[in-house]
Structure 1
Amino acid sequence: MKKYIEFRLVKILAVFYGFIVLLSFSKRIFMLYKKGLFDNIDWGVLIFGQTIFDWISVVIYMVVVAIITKKMFSASLKYQYIILIHIVLGFFMSWYLFVAVGFMQLLAGTITFEVIMQHVFSFENYITIVDVNLITYFFMAGIIYIYYYVKKLRETELQKSKLENQLVTTKMQILKAQLQPHFLFNTLNSISSLIKSNPDEAQNTLVDLSELLREVLYFKEINLIPFTTEISLLKRYINIMLTRFSDHLSIEFDISHELKDSLVPSMLLQPIVENSIKHGYSKQIKNLRIQLKAYKLDDKLIVEVFNNGKPIEKPLNEGHGIKNTKNRLYTLFGEDHEFSFLNSNNEKFSVLTKIVIPFVENTDKKTIPAKIY
């Protein structure tokens, strides 16, 4: 039944025509009172045989019209044919009401079959009500079209939203697919430098890498992950880097407790820290210090990565990881984000990488692996 009948639409039509019937009923009572016939009213016939049955008959008729209209929508008929069909259905409704109400009164025993036939085929009687019925019909037909139009509009918007989400997901998967080999390549380079000098450390680093990749792959289909999980992933990467640079690298964390229940793009921080290491070391800077600071400000999540490397004198040559991160941020947040490299005002650090994104609260703790959170 739901395939053919929109029950919500039926309710709307029933309420609308119920209002029309109530007005008609009130008018009849008033006219009978003015003519001095109030005491002779047959309330049973007036209420049930005419008013209520009239309401039921029209609602049933308009449900049929709604089904026909839905079919015409599906068939994509030309508007000329649609208008013609509704004109025919509008004129037919008056005759239909004559027949329906007449037979109801026949069953009630208030009129004879001969009277019904005279009434049904009386052109004079038909003319007296056809204009009102036509107006009522087209009002209700208008309600049907508005209902289907709004429904189609909502379905179109929903489909558009789903397509946009699918597009974002597809873009993110492509970008992450690009990022992971890049990250893997750089990390394997770090491990290769340890194989001869320190085989045990190289082996331990490979274990760290395998654990890190296992966790990264867990989030392959997820665009946003808990901030605490992102920090855990970053720390695994940092352990690998500390193995390579030993005492010449130190990394500090200053994370606001408010971010415990926030979400961020996966692998957001690793390319930034990697970039800080890459550009931080120089002939003058042999011991690199990095500080990662993250906090909430109003409705924004702000990440600041400081390092004590050489100040920025010209635009940095952005690597694949940074370009990828920028593309992912734009895909997820559009213009509602900020990514910048600055010379820092902090006396302990010279360079600042700053990211500002919308604060997204994590409401589904089930997506967080227990071993990480």
Structure 2
Amino acid sequence: MFRRVRTYYWWCQIGGWMAFWLFSTLVSYMYSQSVTLQSLIDRTVFILAGIGVTHAFRLFILHRQWLQLRLDRLIWRMLLGVVASSVLITAIVDAYKYAFHLMTPQEKSFEFGRFFSVFIIILIWSLIYILWHYVEKERKYQFDRLRLESMVKELQLKTIKSQLNPHFIFNALNSIRALIEENPARAREAVTELSNILRNSMQAEKAETVSLENEVAMVRDYLALEMIRFEERLEVNLHIDPATLALPVPPLMLQTLVENAVKHGISRAVQGGRIDVVSHRVQGFHEIIVRNTGKLAGSGLEPGFGLRSTCQRLEILFGQEASFDIRDAGDRLVEARVRIPLAAQERLQREQSVQQAYKTF
């Protein structure tokens, strides 16, 4: 894909400057009725300088990640870049003419009109480049959104069929039935917890992201039901930084990891074990950790789908810096770790706020 983008860029870059070369030559011929070899060489030097400087300008833009900035911050940076590029091109052309003694008396002094002409050309180049970038970005956003919607729906179906499987529902109902006479108040709470889990699962296909607070609430309900079944065999520790509760995460991601910990860890241990759920900020990342008693060998997420869908959703929503891995953490512990760039979460949070405000308006 990146190779294809580079090919398109060079076709447009060289083709655009060559079109300008032909256009300026044609205009010169129409108005002066003469095109000399020297004027063609001078124009070619200008075109080569334009290609080199604008390409360097593009590399600078990509290196400084200007295209990720808001429009108000981007505009003045681009104007400064256009001015600097125009000065550089003018200097290169003047240096060429001075070296070969081709400068006219008028060209030996600074002319605003000559500089302004170069400025307009580079400004047009910059506008075309930015417009192409934003059109491509919007196209990719729409494509990724369709992929994400498809994956969320697939996850919803698989969650209903396998993650929230009949065994869990039957176990929860049996636990509730045992509580009805023994502890009616707790039985009513358990029914509410089960209905919350089912409702949140059914709503997962309607959202690209949910707040971590929503996911933690669902996990609390789920673990509360499992503690009825496992009793003292299950120890639960939640360490959630309040500053992370409002951050967006993929729906059912945390729920899937916790269910996996119960299914492949706690339920297989005769003595039971513990589950730790941690959410905190670490060096510019939002880190979510699910740690459980057990061994990784012979367990893991649902073959292929769970791991693949988690990684793909993280990459689509938060970029390639987001990561997910699951490993043995020693002392009979398995650790699943999700790392999401805080900058990407905050950006997505702002975009969703704007979209929500627009829908409300």
TM-score bucket (shorter structure):
0.5 to 0.7
Match of 1:191? 169
State the Cα deviation string for residues 16-50 of structure 1 (Å, max 9, x = none): xxxxxxxxxxxxxxxxxxxxxxxxxxxxxxxxxxx
How far, CA to CA, are the matches of 1:267 and 1:88 in structure 2? 68
Q: One-letter code of the match for 1:264?
A: V
How far, CA to CA, are the matches of 1:80 and 1:197 in structure 2? 80
Summarize the alignment of residues 155-304 of structure 1 with structure 2, pairs less than 5 Å apart.
155-185=131-161, 186-189=163-166, 190-193=168-171, 204=192, 207-213=195-201, 215-218=203-206, 220=207, 222-223=208-209, 225-242=210-227, 245=230, 248-281=233-266, 284-304=269-289
Question: Is contact 2:284–2:341 with CA below 8 Å preserved after alignment?
Answer: yes
Summarize the alignment of residues 1-373 of structure 1 with structure 2, pairs less than 5 Å apart.
82-87=23-28, 91=32, 141-185=117-161, 186-189=163-166, 190-193=168-171, 204=192, 207-213=195-201, 215-218=203-206, 220=207, 222-223=208-209, 225-242=210-227, 245=230, 248-281=233-266, 284-309=269-294, 311-313=295-297, 316=300, 318-319=302-303, 320-345=305-330, 350-360=333-343, 362=346, 364=350
How far, CA to CA, are the matches of 2:243 and 2:172 in structure 1? 39
Q: TM-score, normalised by structure 2?
A: 0.56
Q: One-letter code of the match for 2:158?
A: H
Secondary structure of 1:294 counterpart = strand
How far, CA to CA, are the matches of 2:29 and 2:114 in structure 1? 11
Question: Is contact 1:291–1:305 with CA below 8 Å preserved after alignment?
Answer: yes
Match of 2:49? none
How far, CA to CA, are the matches of 2:222 and 2:29 in structure 1? 75
Structure 1 residues 213, 313: CA separation in 2 closer, same or farther (over 3 Å shift)? closer
How far, CA to CA, are the matches of 1:208 and 1:156 in structure 2? 46
Question: Is contact 2:318–2:340 with CA below 8 Å preserved after alignment?
Answer: yes
Question: Is contact 1:307–1:350 with CA below 8 Å preserved after alignment?
Answer: yes
How far, CA to CA, are the matches of 1:366 and 1:329 in structure 2? 20
Structure 1 residues 351, 139: CA separation in 2 closer, same or farther (over 3 Å shift)? closer
Q: One-letter code of the match for 1:216?
A: A
Question: Is contact 1:291–1:306 with CA below 8 Å preserved after alignment?
Answer: yes
Structure 1 residues 241, 177: CA separation in 2 closer, same or farther (over 3 Å shift)? farther
Q: One-letter code of the match for 1:238?
A: L
Aligned-pair distance for 1:210? 4.0
How far, CA to CA, are the matches of 1:89 and 1:138 in structure 2? 20
Identical aligned pairs, as a percentage?
18
Question: Is contact 1:212–1:236 with CA below 8 Å preserved after alignment?
Answer: no
Structure 1 residues 300, 205: CA separation in 2 closer, same or farther (over 3 Å shift)? closer
Aligned-pair distance for 1:267? 2.4
Question: Is contact 2:286–2:341 with CA below 8 Å preserved after alignment?
Answer: yes
Question: Is contact 1:256–1:294 with CA below 8 Å preserved after alignment?
Answer: yes
How far, CA to CA, are the matches of 1:196 and 1:268 in structure 2? 27
Aligned-pair distance for 1:254? 0.7
Structure 1 residues 337, 171: CA separation in 2 closer, same or farther (over 3 Å shift)? same
How far, CA to CA, are the matches of 1:194 and 1:237 in structure 2? 9
Q: Structure 1, unaligned stretches of length 5 or more?
A: 1-72, 93-130
Match of 2:56? none
Q: Structure 2, unaligned stretches of length 5 or more?
A: 1-14, 34-104, 181-186, 357-361
Structure 1 residues 148, 170: CA separation in 2 closer, same or farther (over 3 Å shift)? same
Aligned-pair distance for 1:290? 0.7
How far, CA to CA, are the matches of 1:258 and 1:197 in structure 2? 35
How far, CA to CA, are the matches of 2:32 and 2:115 in structure 1? 14
Structure 1 residues 244, 160: CA separation in 2 closer, same or farther (over 3 Å shift)? farther
Aligned-pair distance for 1:271? 1.4
How far, CA to CA, are the matches of 1:340 and 1:163 in structure 2? 30
Aligned-pair distance for 1:261? 4.5
State the Cα deviation string for residues 225-268 of structure 1 (Å, max 9, x = none): 43223322333443454465555434220112332443333322
Q: TM-score, normalised by structure 1?
A: 0.54
Alpha-carbon RMSD: 4.1
